[in-house]
Amino acid sequence: MRKLISVVALATLAAGCGKQEAPEAAKTEAAKSADPVTLTVYSARKEHLIKPLFDLYTEKTGTQIQYITDKAAPLLSRLNSEGANTPADMLITVDAGNLWKAAADGVLASVDSEALEANVPANLQDENNQWFGLSIRARTIIYAKDRVKEGELSTYEALADEQWKGRLCLRTSKKVYNQSLVASMISNLGEEKTEKIVGGWVNNLATDVFSNDTKAMNAVQAGQCDATVVNTYYYGRLQAKAPDANLAIFWPNQEDRGVHINISGAGVTKYAKNPAEAQKLLEWLSSEEAQQQFAQLNHEYPVNAKVSATPEVQAWGDFKRDELNVSEAGRLQPASVKLMDRVNYR
């Protein structure tokens, strides 16, 4: 009888011990799942344009975001060299050309997301869902209000006309924004016609090309030239600093294809360590809440149609946009670079 009691007692004790261990193990697993995820983002957008968004997302979700900012080319080179060892979960960059190249290099993953499809227009995303636009910028004409008469401006092509001889300023062709503009013209007009137009721009230059859009606008303001071509957010920045500047915005090609637009955008990296969480961040960046932030931070247009631009941007007026898929600007960039070289657009 004592032997039997001992066996029962040991069995009961063993069972009791097992019951105590199970909850502890469960707690450990729960603790692991509760640990905040840390995402790593490579961003060609500057810190002051992404940090407020990341901070808000962390506040809402607990997901930590560490980021590295640099120009697009070094970031893409880094992703290519790191391969499967990259710490990056997401790439954010500017211009469809850079996004197209990232997809072509195979460093981005396809994302299947109803939210992104609903929030981002089809012409502002990759056909294989490897990247999605997050903000829109138009590349348009800025002119001197006191020196350009009504009716003188009409299209990008017309800037090659004789009446603009010695009156035009341009940013360098080395910048991806001009490469995309010319690439879109190749798609819309054909290479031969585009080459003639861009050659006309070069012949009409009032001075050497400028390193950035702000310098080109300053040249118009100073009287070195009468018109230039810039991204709209540069004009917004200048307006904020100098509201009385003798400059105005003109929307070209309203009777045909519309104004050339480009994007900033993002994609989940092919070797992301946290692909599901990276997709959630990408979806949130296209949401109404985040798109409001995009609109306010840099005078850009939201990609999400449910979100309005800021009052300052809306004051520039409505315009017809070129509906060309922006990935075409990326695909044709090599051809546009060669074309600009042939006409000595430096």
* Residue 23 in domain: no
State the pairing for strand pair 301-302/247-250: unpaired
- The single residue listed with the structure tokens 């959630």 is 280
Q: Give the domain range for residue 205.
A: 138-260+327-342
What is the distance between the alpha carbons of residues 223 and 28, in angstroms, rounded to a whole number? 70
pLDDT of residue 320: 98
Regarding whether 181 and 42 lie in a shared domain, the answer is no
CB 130 within 8 A of CB 111: yes
- 3-class secondary structure, 258: coil
Dihedral of the CA atoms 189, 161, 172, 183 (nearest 10)?
Answer: 0
The partner residues of 65 in beta bridges, in order of sequence, read 39
pLDDT of residue 1: 39
243: exposed, middle or buried (C-beta count within 10 Å: 0-12, 13-18, 19+)?
exposed
Regarding whether 255 and 146 lie in a shared domain, the answer is yes
* Residue ranges for the chain with pLDDT beneath 50: 1-33
Token couple for 152: 């003188």
- The single residue listed with the structure tokens 């810039």 is 230
Regarding whether 111 and 177 lie in a shared domain, the answer is no
Work out the angle at residue 274's Cα, subtended by the Cα atoms of residues 272 and 276, and round it to the nearest 5 degrees: 110
Number of domains the chain contains: 2
Regarding whether 106 and 187 lie in a shared domain, the answer is no
The partner residues of 227 in beta bridges, in order of sequence, read 143, 168
* Residue 26 in domain: no
Sign of the CA dihedral with 294 first, then 296, 302, and 308 last: positive
CATH number at residue 253: 3.40.190.10
* Residue 15 in domain: no
pLDDT of residue 35: 75
* Residue 120 in domain: yes
- The single residue listed with the structure tokens 């013209």 is 185
Regarding whether 231 and 142 lie in a shared domain, the answer is yes
Regarding whether 216 and 331 lie in a shared domain, the answer is yes
pLDDT of residue 312: 96
What is the distance between the alpha carbons of residues 96 and 322, in angstroms, rounded to a whole number? 14
pLDDT of residue 34: 59
Regarding whether 93 and 129 lie in a shared domain, the answer is yes
The partner residues of 125 in beta bridges, in order of sequence, read 132
* Residue 7 in domain: no
Regarding whether 332 and 304 lie in a shared domain, the answer is no
What is the distance between the alpha carbons of residues 255 and 258, in angstroms, rounded to a whole number? 7
Regarding whether 233 and 188 lie in a shared domain, the answer is yes
Regarding whether 174 and 66 lie in a shared domain, the answer is no
* Residue 1 in domain: no
* Residue 295 in domain: yes
pLDDT of residue 36: 81
Regarding whether 186 and 61 lie in a shared domain, the answer is no
Regarding whether 127 and 191 lie in a shared domain, the answer is no
Token couple for 165: 């001889």
- For 146-162, the pLDDT digits (tens) are 999 999 999 999 999 99
The partner residues of 302 in beta bridges, in order of sequence, read 135
* Residue 161 in domain: yes
